[in-house]
A and B are shown apart, each in its own frame.
Chain A
Amino acid sequence: DADVTQTPRNRITKTGKRIMLECSQTKGHDRMYWYRQDPGLGLRLIYYSFDVKDINKGEISDGYSVSRQAQAKFSLSLESAIPNQTALYFCATSEALTGGGETQYFGPGTRLLVL
């Protein structure tokens, strides 16, 4: 079984709808992240969480919210989806290592289309 899973894998929604993307991990990592990937751009960080009680905004958090329900679960919500949120979304996890040497493990991605 995959260590980091994301559901759904594909989603089409309409402008103004609320949508939730879910991420689960079995790696036992404390740290979890949400990124989006757009053609021609590098991955950009939306939110990250270093433990269940810790939530931090990334560089592009506007229009998104997150919930860390447990160590293994981190959900991303779009409260009112808009077309420019059409993108590939990745969840990632990592251990907590000093010095920044931690490896991030990515899920398979969720392809979201907002009409």
Chain B
Amino acid sequence: KNQVEQSPQSLIILEGKNCTLQCNYTVSPFSNLRWYKQDTGRGPVSLTIMTFSENTKSNGRYTATLDADTKQSSLHITASQLSDSASYICVVRGTSGTYKYIFGTGTRLKVLA
């Protein structure tokens, strides 16, 4: 069964600290992997997208990595800010069928002052 699992479920860090969120998937065949940020009460917003040939992609203080061999991805947040408090969702797109996105359950990040 195609699945996307994220860890940890929730995380609390102090402002200015770094953190890394994990995403493991079993989706196959694989097309791309995307990280979304979802603020409370808002819809998800795309941060990065990676195909299987890409290892790293950055978007400001957000850096995503992908290991297509082990089917693992991580999202690293550098020098966290209060505005980083949100849920981060990993989404994997398969290649079979006209539409096949599998959403993870997300990691809820809380950044404290």
Bound complex: CA A24 to CA B93 (Å): 25
Binary interface profile of B, 16-32, with partner A (CB < 8 Å = 1, else 0)? 00000000000000011
A41 within 8 A of B: yes
A44 nearest CB across to chain B (Å)? 7
**B interface secondary structure, majority:** strand
User: What's the interface size class on A, roughly?
Assistant: 20 to 34
Residues on A with beta carbons closer than 8 Å to the beta carbon of B43: 4, 90, 92, 105-109
Residues on A with beta carbons closer than 8 Å to the beta carbon of B34: 103
Question: Would you call B49 and A43 a contact (CB within 8 A)?
Answer: no
Partner of A104, one of B4, B32, B46, B95: B46
Bound complex: CA A44 to CA B105 (Å): 10
Binary interface profile of A, 78-115, with partner B (CB < 8 Å = 1, else 0)? 00000000000010100000011101111111000000
Partner of A44, one of B46, B51, B103: B103
Binary interface profile of B, 83-108, with partner A (CB < 8 Å = 1, else 0)? 00000010001010011011111100
Question: Would you call B31 and A100 a contact (CB within 8 A)?
Answer: yes
20 contacting pairs across A/B (C-beta < 8 A): A42-B4, A42-B89, A42-B102, A42-B103, A43-B89, A43-B103, A45-B99, A48-B99, A50-B98, A56-B98, A58-B99, A100-B31, A103-B49, A104-B44, A106-B43, A106-B45, A107-B43, A108-B41, A108-B42, A108-B43
Q: Which residues of B contact A (CB under 8 A)?
A: 4, 31-32, 34, 41-46, 49, 51, 89, 93, 95, 98-99, 101-106
